[in-house]
Amino acid sequence: LSDLAVVKIDAQGLTTLPWADSDKVRIAEWVLAIGNPFSFNQTVTLGIVSAVGRQGAQLGAYGQMIQTDAAINPGNSGGALVNARGELVGINTMIYSRTGGSEGLGFAIPANTAQRIMKELIANGAVNWGTLLDVEYGDQAINTRVARQYGITAESLVMVFGLSTSSPAYRAGLRADDFILKIGRAH
């Protein structure tokens, strides 16, 4: 669901890109999208962060995305979204487009989410996505501003990605993009 993978490279002396705290990314911050659009290797485009914590039906199971107007096209997926300090703020993931080309609506998985997914992939070989009674769910980082707004103290929550309309959870009012804060036994 995250469209991320970990690749081990047996090499010495490689320099890694520093990770930014993606919770500190600000709207209108300058970013560079690096990728391989249409097989044009090492392409870099410039833009700004248009929104943080973006989610919605258009993004499907993805939530809390960084939106940018830096040109992202097919082939940019998996490339770096880098801030002016040369830090990785996100992983370019998708575009929203009527034509299939860049229309200024590019999305990146925030660096903090990517780090959590990377650690889980290394530790377990898979990310703990799953289903429970026809409910698709997974761990989702929460934007610190949103968390404060709702009084949430956890760093991540369980997010509902989708569910069957015939499931008990749906009949009880659970919907896609809901966050599950607590599970208890019904009496």
Instruction: Determine which helix (DSSP H) or strand (DSSP E) holds 78, and give its type and residue range.
Output: none
pLDDT band at 90 (very low <50, low <70, confident <90, very high): very high
- pLDDT tens-digit series, residues 43-53: 999 999 999 98
Which segment of 1-10, 45-54, 82-91 scores lowest on mean pLDDT?
Answer: 1-10
Rounded Cα–Cα distance for residues 9 and 5 (Å): 13
Strands 30-35 and 43-54: antiparallel
Q: What angle do CA 21, 126, 131 make, to 5 degrees?
A: 100
> Do 138 and 129 form a contact (C-beta atoms < 8 A)?
yes
In this predicted structure, what is the pLDDT of residue 85?
96
In this predicted structure, what is the pLDDT of residue 63?
65
- pTM of the entire structure? 0.69
